[in-house]
Amino acid sequence: MGDIVKQPGRLRPAPENFLSEEQVKAVGSGRRDFLRKSFLVAGAALAAPKLVRAAEGDPNILENPAWTTSLGLPVATNPYGMPSKFESQLLRRESPGLARVGGASVSFAPLQGLFGIITPSGLHFERHHQGWHDIDPSKHRLMVNGSDDSLLKKAKVYTLDELMRLPSVSRIHFIECGANTGLEWGNVAVPTVQYTHGMLSCSEFTGVPLKVLLEDCGVDYKKARYVLAEGADGSSMTRTIPMEMVESGEVFVAYGQNGEMLRPENGYPLRLVVPGVQGVSWVKWLRRIEVGDKPYATKDEAVHYIDLLPSGQHRQYSSIQEAKSVITTPSGGQTLLDKGFFNVSGLAWSGRGRIKQVDVSFDGGINWKTARIEGPVQNKALTRFNVDWVWDGSPAILQSRAMDETGFVQPTYGQLRKVRGTKSIYHNNAIQSWKVIESGEVSNVQVL
């Protein structure tokens, strides 16, 4: 009974969005007076009016709200539907101080509030090197040529009209920036999963296997062992991709994303999809493919996206995003409402294939419990995991550890730093830890 007095709503006051005692009183003195009075008569045994009101139940149930007692809006009020006005908090955001100019910066996806594995297109993370444009698809061209004539029988030009006539594939893949979690190599630096892991998204992409185009141009696979992909924006981003990946059929030229065309910020009208490889290779606003017999050492594979080792050497052409996972609920910068049951939920992914197992620890990695994986598990795609947890109110450290189908297990910070030091910037796939304290506040910590 005492519990109910304290807890209208679910029957308990939470920090927000539940009625306070005062609000409940206000409701009680309004239209519901009639109800309350009749209840009083019926239940004369109840002592205090406060208890009476609570005992009646939740005003959200007892009082039909406006949406139940009036006419709603007609179809096509929003010809392109938008999220509820109550969903204004989950936005892609920049990390202050990370970049100096917005045109060469990153915005992070709000992983802390997303469900399942598909990132809503409007919340897909952004990384631009020279700003973004909304390109007129009728003026966009894709050229395929060779670094020299002997590598390709015929250099060709394709329009969107033509590309969209070709046999297409639709596949779900994650895309992760090579620098995701890069701020955290040395120490904890940012408060929430949005900023630690938010250069990560997953979509269903639709397009034409690059192999189809290269073969249509008469590629000589014997000589042409590399592909250069180039964008149409000011930076004309260029990246080298191995022909083995193209031949496997995995790499494709995409125009579709989650059932509609790509978003401008994600490369409209054409981008490359290179599953399992860091985002920079998924060249946006793709305008040209060159087949070549040598790698290209472009700016973003010779000055950036190179991993500094303690020896002073940089790893060049490091491209694969190795197995990684993170708990998104609860995560840093959040506060648990209460003791009791929680569905702990997170994401796992691997650039080497499918996720096979995810284990979760609540004691900083001493003991582990295998999480439920939500299937079907896709190749090189985000994979959602869930695990039951009853929080008893004492401090805890939550971690998740992914294993992929190759048997590779996500490393600890200690293991990763031992081989790569702390200045690598790229490819940090260490196990993430979230510390929970008695107040329920969750914060970012690193366990070695």
Residues of this chain that interact with ligand HEC (CB under 6 A) are 101, 104, 129, 235, 299, 303-304
Tokens at 189, concatenated: 């630096």
| The one-letter amino acid at 421 | G
Give me the amino acid identity at 132.
Answer: W
Structure-block tokens of residue 109: 């996806």
Comparing CB distances to another protein, the nearer of 117 and 213 is: 213
In the list ligand HEC, another protein, none, the entry touching 93 (Cβ below 5 to 8 angstroms by class) is another protein
45 CB contacts (<8 Å, ≥6 apart)? none
Residue with Cβ nearer another protein (51 or 302): 302
Least Cα distance to 433 among 365, 341, 346, 358 occurs for 365
Site string for another protein, 346-375 (x = CB under 8 A): -----xx----x-x---xxxxxxxx-----
Which option in ligand HEC, another protein, none does residue 119 bind, with CB closer than 5 to 8 A by kind? none
**DSSP run (H or E) holding 370:** strand 369-370
Residue number with CB closer to another protein (254 or 436): 436
Nearest approach, Cβ of residue 303 and ligand HEC (Å): 4
Say whether residue 212 binds another protein (CB under 8 A). Answer: yes
Establish if 263 lies at the interface with another protein (CB under 8 A).
no
Quick check: helix, strand or coil at residue 22? helix
Instruction: In angstroms, give the least distance from the CB of 372 to another protein.
Output: 16
Please name which of 99, 107, 301, 307 lies closest in space to residue 199, comparing C-alpha atoms: 107
Instruction: Candidates 30-38, 47-55, 67-75, 405-413: pick the segment binding another protein (CB under 8 A).
Output: 405-413
- Could you say which residues in the range 274-293 bind another protein, by CB under 8 A? 276-277, 287-288, 290, 292
Residue 365: contacted member of another protein, ligand HEC, none (CB under 5 to 8 Å, by partner type): another protein
59 forms part of the interface with another protein (CB under 8 A): no
Query: Which CA distances in Å does 84 have to 15, 89, 313?
Result: 21, 11, 50
Nearest-approach distance from CB 106 to ligand HEC, in angstroms = 10
Taking alpha carbons only, the member of 346, 401, 360, 352 closest to residue 381 is 352
Does position 160 interact with another protein (CB under 8 A)? The reply is no
Give the nearest distance from C-beta 128 to ligand HEC in angstroms.
8
Which residue has tokens 């006539």? 165
Residue 171 neighbours by CB under 8 Å, 6+ apart: 204, 205, 252, 273, 275, 378, 379
Is 60 a binder of another protein (CB under 8 A)?
Answer: no
Q: Give yes or no for residue 154 binding another protein (CB under 8 A).
A: yes
CA 170/CA 110 separation, integer angstroms? 25
337 binds another protein (CB under 8 A): yes
